[in-house]
């Protein structure tokens, strides 16, 4: 499941994934990003704390989103602390995308 939140000033697009980070979530994640990207001015964060696993297809999804955000002039980061997927991401991609962020409150 993919959810998104845009900060009130429009500088941060926050995407959250719950479930498997694999090739099957790619279209939904890219679609959500594409729908919201025009509203965002500075940064896109992908929250993977709810991702219970990440395979090679999931890493390809991360690379795809990173390229899209870069092409749109946005900074890209991932927050995944404590998530089961975070170790797989670190093993494959290193710490280059992993951000340490405080909890970002989302509207209810």
What is the DSSP secondary-structure string of 3-66? EEEE-TTS-EEEEEEEEEESGGGHHHHHHHHHHHGGG-SSEEEEEEEEEEEE-HHHHHHHHHHH
33 located within any domain: yes
User: How many structural domains compose the chain?
Assistant: 1
pLDDT of residue 92: 66
Residues of the chain with pLDDT under 50: 100, 102-108
76 located within any domain: yes
pLDDT of residue 106: 44
| CA 95 to mean position of chain CA atoms | 14
pLDDT of residue 79: 82
pLDDT of residue 94: 58
pLDDT of residue 102: 46
8 located within any domain: yes
28 located within any domain: yes
66 located within any domain: yes
What CATH number does residue 37 fall under?
3.30.750.24
* Full domain range(s) for residue 59: 2-93
99 located within any domain: no
């Amino acid at each position: 499941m993919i959810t998104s939140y845009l900060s009130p000033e429009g500088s941060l697009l926050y995407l959250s994934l719950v479930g498997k980070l694999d090739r099957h979530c790619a279209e939904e994640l890219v679609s959500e990003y594409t729908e919201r990207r025009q509203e965002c001015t500075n940064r896109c964060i992908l929250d993977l704390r709810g991702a219970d696993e990440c395979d090679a297809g999931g890493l390809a999804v991360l690379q795809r989103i990173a390229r899209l955000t870069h092409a749109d002039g946005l900074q890209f980061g991932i927050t995944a602390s404590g998530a089961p997927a975070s170790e797989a991401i670190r093993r494959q991609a290193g710490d280059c995308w992993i951000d340490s962020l405080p909890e970002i409150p989302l509207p209810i």
